[in-house]
Amino acid sequence: MGGRRNLLTALPYAFRMIDLRSDTVTKPTPEMRKAMAQAEVGDDVYGEDPTVTRLEELAAAKLEREAALFVPTGSMGNQIAVHVWTHPGSEVIIEARGHIFNFEMGAMAALSGALPRPITTNDGLLRPEQVEAAINPKVSYRTPTRLLCLENTHNLWSGLPMPKGLKDELVAVAHKHGLKVHLDGARIFNAAAALETTAAELARGCDSVMFCLSKGLAAPVGSMLVGDADFIAEARRVRKLFGGGMRQVGVLAAAGIVALTTMVDRLAEDHCRARRLAEGLAELPGVILDPQCIKTNIVVFRLTRPDLLGDREVAPNVRFVAAMKAQGVLCGAFGQDEVRMVTHYHICDSDIDHALRAARTVLAAA
Ligand code: TLP
């Protein structure tokens, strides 16, 4: 199984749920809890928390950037970047299923007055010519386009990693037209593991990068915003504006340091389990899923059968999720017919077997 697990993992399935809803459900490791208890702290709004400073230096070094900022959530990190790079009434280009557009409470409009320009793709990967076509001409009577947001891995596209070459082309076209590029790299280390490269390579050229400590890396809280020194200075001001100035937060940063130093190398394990899960699911009746598309830790599939599990008032994916829960497996429903399952630190090989047994039972009963 590898790694240290939550003691709960030892319980028989009759007494515990297998939680595949998200990698956000991961709990801090014993090493993190120890580091948290022993963390040296100070008031971080005064820049006096040595543990936060250490985490920020580590994050900047990992991404090969000048500076970094510890933020409470990935959403806040993304929205700080949007706020810094846009002004009210300006446009932000983003892939139509992007997290910043779909899952951040309309924050770009609410907090920054910015307007999303979503672009639909067939595979989750924006193309340079699509981006170029979506940039408004620089004339006094058109809305200025200010920012391109990328997402790597792409959550709703089954955790698809964006290759470095495509990212370089997208950055080049954005910069050619004077746009900034923000990378939502919530799972950038998953992308790096899948593409056998470094997070720094996948982020190079982007003007700002957010990555999460609290997902596959299992820290309890926190994300990092990374960029050049001027950007981070401005981001620090906006973090306070958004109510994200935290005080003796070294207790959380300590867990983040353990996350970054001990949890990155094991992510490939989660990817193998996700692939095995996908291969098993793809064989079941009513499931549309190409296991070859599962490159990281997120499995998204469609259910084709509107008749699934009776009650037509409720969408089939919602019924599937409820039936899986009754079998001891938690997963998530998205849109009309999609289901998402995410592997992470607390999911072991036998959990995958159990989840597949559960799905087989549920779909056989349908
Ligand atoms: N994603 C969550 C949900 O919000 C969907 C999840 O369970 O996957 N960027 C990306 C790509 C994300 O997947 C998420 C969280 C965030 C940003 C926001 O991070 P938090 O939850 O820390 O605000």
pTM for the complete prediction?
Answer: 0.96
Tell whether the model's pLDDT for residue 2 goes beyond 60.
no
CB-ligand 1 contact for 213 (6 Å cutoff): no
Tell whether the model's pLDDT for residue 212 goes beyond 80.
yes
CB-ligand 1 contact for 117 (6 Å cutoff): no
Confidence class for position 82, pLDDT limits 50, 70, 90: very high
Mean pLDDT of 217-224: 98
CB-ligand 1 contact for 75 (6 Å cutoff): yes
Residue nearest to atom 8 of ligand 1 (CA): 22
Mean pLDDT of 273-299: 97
User: What pLDDT does residue 324 have?
Assistant: 97
Q: How far is CA 320 from the centre of its chain?
A: 24
Ligand 1 center to residue 155 CA distance, Å? Answer: 8
User: What pLDDT does residue 293 have?
Assistant: 97
Tell whether the model's pLDDT for residue 9 goes beyond 60.
yes
Ligand 1 center to residue 348 CA distance, Å? Answer: 23
Strands (E), 153-235: 180-184, 208-212, 223-227
User: What pLDDT does residue 1 have?
Assistant: 40
Tell whether the model's pLDDT for residue 5 goes beyond 60.
no
Question: What number of H helices and E strands is found in the chain?
Answer: 14, 13
Confidence class for position 8, pLDDT limits 50, 70, 90: low
CB-ligand 1 contact for 102 (6 Å cutoff): no
Q: Tokens in use for 130?
A: 């699509």
Q: Among 12-16, 87-91, 217-221, where is mean pLDDT lowest? A: 12-16
- 8 Å CB contact between 79 and 111: yes
Ligand 1 center to residue 311 CA distance, Å? Answer: 31
Tell whether the model's pLDDT for residue 275 goes beyond 60.
yes
Residue nearest to atom 19 of ligand 1 (CA): 74
CB-ligand 1 contact for 363 (6 Å cutoff): no
- Report phi then psi at 320, rounded to 5: -60, -45
Compute the distance between CA of residue 262 and CA of residue 285 in angstroms, rounded to an integer. Answer: 40
Ligand 1 center to residue 319 CA distance, Å? Answer: 24
Residue nearest to atom 20 of ligand 1 (CA): 74
23: three-class secondary structure by DSSP:
helix
Mean pLDDT of 342-362: 97
Ligand 1 center to residue 99 CA distance, Å? Answer: 7
337: three-class secondary structure by DSSP:
coil
pLDDT (tens digit per residue) in 303-320: 987 666 666 678 889 999
Domains of the chain: 2-27+266-365 (3.90.1150.10), 30-262 (3.40.640.10)
Tell whether the model's pLDDT for residue 265 goes beyond 50.
yes
User: What pLDDT does residue 70 have?
Assistant: 98
Q: How far is CA 298 from the centre of its chain?
A: 10
CB-ligand 1 contact for 72 (6 Å cutoff): no
CB-ligand 1 contact for 158 (6 Å cutoff): no
Tell whether the model's pLDDT for residue 4 goes beyond 50.
no
CB-ligand 1 contact for 151 (6 Å cutoff): yes
CB-ligand 1 contact for 221 (6 Å cutoff): no
> What is the average pLDDT score of the chain?
95
CB-ligand 1 contact for 111 (6 Å cutoff): no
Mean pLDDT of 319-338: 95
Confidence class for position 336, pLDDT limits 50, 70, 90: confident
CB-ligand 1 contact for 351 (6 Å cutoff): no
Ligand 1 center to residue 212 CA distance, Å? Answer: 9
